[in-house]
Chains A and B, each alone.
Chain A
Amino acid sequence: MANKTKILIVEDDLFLRRLCQKKLEKEGFEVILAEDGREGIKQAKKTSPDLILLDIILPNIDGFEVLKILKDEVSTKLIPIILLSNLGQKEDINKGLALGASDYLIKAHFSPQEIVDKIKEVLKK
């Protein structure tokens, strides 16, 4: 069990976090949770996850800022990050990808299964 793939979910909405966690656990991932930006950065450094699912609108430090900090940090810059947000403007998507996100998913457009598929796709690269 020690070599389970570790996913960090940074999501402030309790219900969405819970649903996402359940789905990923059913798929055999180990899930770490963070409910705001600051906690997200802390967990990313502490647990070195294999992939991060990152929301954008977050209390204290927003997702773009978290992404920037993690991509600037030697210990975390290689961790693939998928932005998972309900902001869907072109500028947001471009900004996220420019900052180094592996992908950008609009929450309401993806089902949990499709999110899992995306995670697997990014992990394969």
Chain B
Amino acid sequence: MTNFLKKKKCDNPEEVIKYQNSLIELDKIAKMLIKRDLALTDSKEKLIKEKGKVDAVINSLTDGLIMIDLEQKIILINPKAQSILNVTKEEKLIGKVLPELVNFPHIKELYEVLTKTEGHCREKQCELILKELIEKIYEMQTTLVVTETQEIIGTLIILHDVTRERLINKMKSEFITIAAHQLRTPLTGIKWSLEMINTNVITEEEKKEFLDKAYQSNERMIKLVNSLLIVSRLEEGRFVYKFSEIQIENLIQEIIENFKIQIKNKAIGCVFSKPKIPLSKIKADLEKIQIVLENLIDNAIKYTPQNGKIIISLKENNNKIEVSIKDSGMGISKENRERLFTKFFRSAEALKIETSGSGLGLFIAKNIIEAHKGQIWMKSKEGRGSTFYFTLPIN
């Protein structure tokens, strides 16, 4: 082009200027074009980058995300949604119509929930329950996808796992039901005996009996409230530990002394076998370990029959102290052993002997021992007794 212009420029000076101007003009345009081209490439790269970012966000969402168009064709599904709906990555779901995917049981269920109320285009929140090994519950939020020009292009479905929340709620309400029941029972005893005493329909002897029992009910109530408070503090993690050096054999000796009357009343032979040389001191929360020992020894006395035997032993090895409390009660059946340390559980065997227990003692003991990095377990022979063990580390 320049050659052509050069050739021309000799003929006419006016033309030369004209051409020169054109040349400048063209140069400008060329530069602009190059610039625009560069900018375009740049924004294309930027766009790809942006899309990558959005994809990454969608792919790493912890909620399942599915978008369908107006024909119910899947146009977007993130990995979380695929895993929720139990479909592998290899399944090409994009472009397929929801109602046709009935081969996938979870997608079928999703579609059923989606269409249950007046078509899929309504914005709503409902629940999707998927039956798996453990039932999974999802909150399903559907939202219309609307463009800037107010055009509806599809529906966005968000699946949020609420299985755990639901479980906690259920446990909470179960706790309240059982706690209310356990608290009402001793209260009923107190109420009924007070009325019986007050209405004067009973003999002096009966009056004394009922007063005695009412007193015991009240004691039971106080113990239960204390246990419930301990449990609630344990569960909130507010069970502050005050560690001190403990000589555990002295503590056990003291507790046995406190149970002297109960042991004597049932004519139980209680043996405390401790090693001849003093055990190492342990660093533990005295008050809490006392609760554990009291619970275990109280149980042993409660479930050992008249003239039975209790053996409390101590061992030290592998840098820990092991305490065992063996009773000669009725033992615990295999099926009940697993649930023994869970909250409010009471074995059928225990219920037969004592219906008034709270079902909290072993749960509390387990929590305290585990907070001390120890272990608690039991062995039992049906009809012949149980032995409860726990260990506490030496520092």
Determine how close the nearest CB of chain B comes to the CB of A90; give it in whole angstroms: 11
Chain B residues near A (Cβ < 8 Å): 177, 180-181, 184-185, 187-189, 191-193, 195-196, 199, 201-202, 206, 210, 213, 216-217, 348, 351-352, 355-356
Q: When the two chains form their complex, are residues A57 and B181 in contact, meaning their CB atoms are under 8 A apart?
A: yes
Across the two chains, which residue of chain B brings its CB closest to A84?
B188
Collect the chain B residues with CB atoms within 8 Å of residue A19's CB. Answer: 189, 192-193, 196, 210, 213
A15/B217 contact (C-beta < 8 A), A60-B348, A86-B188, A106-B184 known:
yes
Are A108 and B177 interface neighbours, CB within 8 A? no
Q: Check A13 against B184 for contact (C-beta < 8 Å).
A: no
Q: Which 10 A-B pairs have the closest CB atoms?
A: A86-B184, A108-B184, A59-B351, A107-B188, A19-B192, A12-B355, A111-B195, A108-B188, A86-B181, A15-B189
Q: Which residues of A contact B206 (CB under 8 A)?
A: 22
**In whole angstroms, what is the CA distance A23 to B202 when docked?**
9
Q: A86 — which chain B residues lie within 8 A by C-beta?
A: 180-181, 184-185, 188
Please determine whether A16 and B188 come into contact, CB atoms closer than 8 angstroms: yes
Q: How far is the CA of A14 from the CA of B212 in the complex (A)?
A: 14
**Would you give the shortest CB distance from B354 to chain A, in whole angstroms?**
9
CA distance A18 to B356 in the complex (A): 15
Residue of A nearest to B185 (CB): A86
Q: Are A26 and B202 in contact (CB under 8 A)?
A: yes
* 6 A-B residue pairs with CB within 8 Å: A13-B189, A19-B189, A59-B352, A60-B348, A87-B177, A88-B184
Interface residues of A in 43-59 (CB under 8 A from B): 57, 59
Q: Is the beta-carbon distance between B185 and A16 smaller than 8 angstroms?
A: yes
The distance from the CB of B341 to the nearest CB of chain A, in whole angstroms, is 20
Give the docked Cα–Cα distance between A4 and B385 (Å): 45
